[in-house]
């Protein structure tokens, strides 16, 4: 059983297997497509993604994750292994505090940008230009809802200098080779008044982070399917 999450509560999608999972990956809805691409083929592994709207409300992530762990253990039994498919993700250590004593670990790293790009590459990007705003495939798709309308820039364009005045460029960390997403990311940079740069990451970084948590994907970690 695979569960995907977007801005609304997760919807269940059959994974083609009826066996009870031994591992549940509880992930961020912003990683749903990539987690499914890596993990859906695996027997004994279930993917549950919390609402992607939490991406904009990191203070709510710790409680949502703890509740998700409880649901996974209630549904699949207390011995099911749960892996949290989040990095710190802007919680300022609160997610680690919430996980203390649960026997559950999260993915290593500060956020999904670091996971996708790799720590060394992300640090180099940050050192090269600290004023960088990052997009992933998910954020390129959801730029209007999560950024433009989410930050009320559609109704209050005067907020643009206040919110993005310290940024100089937008770097699109691309998980897929999709010209439509490239166009969306470039349009986002134009609307924000930022220089545009594209870096192809594929999903190997996420696969490596899962493997480091003991969930070996065993599949190609190249670019995820576009769309």
Dmax (CA) for the chain in angstroms is: 54
CB count in 10 Å sphere of residue 216: 13
Q: Which residues contact 2 (CB under 8 A, 6 or more apart)?
A: 12, 13, 14, 15, 36, 40, 46, 47
Q: Hey, what's the torsion of the CAs at 208, 86, 15, 81, to 10 degrees?
A: 90
pLDDT tens-digit readout, 55-99: 889 999 999 999 999 999 999 999 999 999 999 999 999 999 999
CA 137 to chain centre: 10
Q: Where are the domains of the chain?
A: 2-111+203-212, 114-200
CATH for 2-111+203-212 is 3.40.50
pLDDT tens-digit readout, 125-182: 999 999 999 999 999 999 999 999 999 999 999 999 999 999 999 999 999 999 999 9
**Residue 221's pLDDT band (cuts 50, 70, 90):** low
């Amino acid at each position: 059983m695979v569960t995907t999450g977007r801005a609304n509560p997760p919807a269940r999608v059959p994974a083609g297997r009826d066996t009870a999972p031994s591992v549940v990956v509880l992930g961020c809805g912003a990683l749903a497509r990539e987690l499914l691409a890596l993990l859906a083929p695996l027997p004994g592994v279930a993917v549950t993604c919390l609402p992607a709207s939490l991406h904009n409300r990191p203070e709510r992530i710790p409680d949502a994750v703890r509740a998700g762990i409880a649901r996974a253990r209630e549904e699949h039994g207390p011995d099911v292994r749960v892996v949290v498919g989040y990095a710190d993700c802007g919680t300022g250590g609160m997610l680690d505090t919430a996980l203390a004593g649960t026997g559950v670990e999260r993915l290593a790293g500060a956020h999904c940008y670091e996971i996708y790009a790799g720590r060394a590459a992300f640090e180099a990007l940050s050192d090269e230009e600290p004023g960088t705003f990052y997009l992933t495939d998910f954020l390129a798709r959801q730029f209007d809802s999560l950024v433009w309308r989410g930050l009320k820039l559609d109704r209050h364009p005067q907020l643009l200098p206040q919110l993005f005045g310290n940024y100089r460029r937008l770097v699109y960390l691309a998980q897929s080779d999709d010209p439509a997403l490239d166009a969306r990311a470039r349009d986002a940079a134009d609307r924000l008044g930022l220089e545009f740069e594209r870096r192809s990451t594929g999903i190997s970084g996420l696969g490596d982070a899962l493997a480091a948590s003991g969930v070996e994907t065993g599949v190609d970690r190249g670019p995820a399917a576009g769309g």
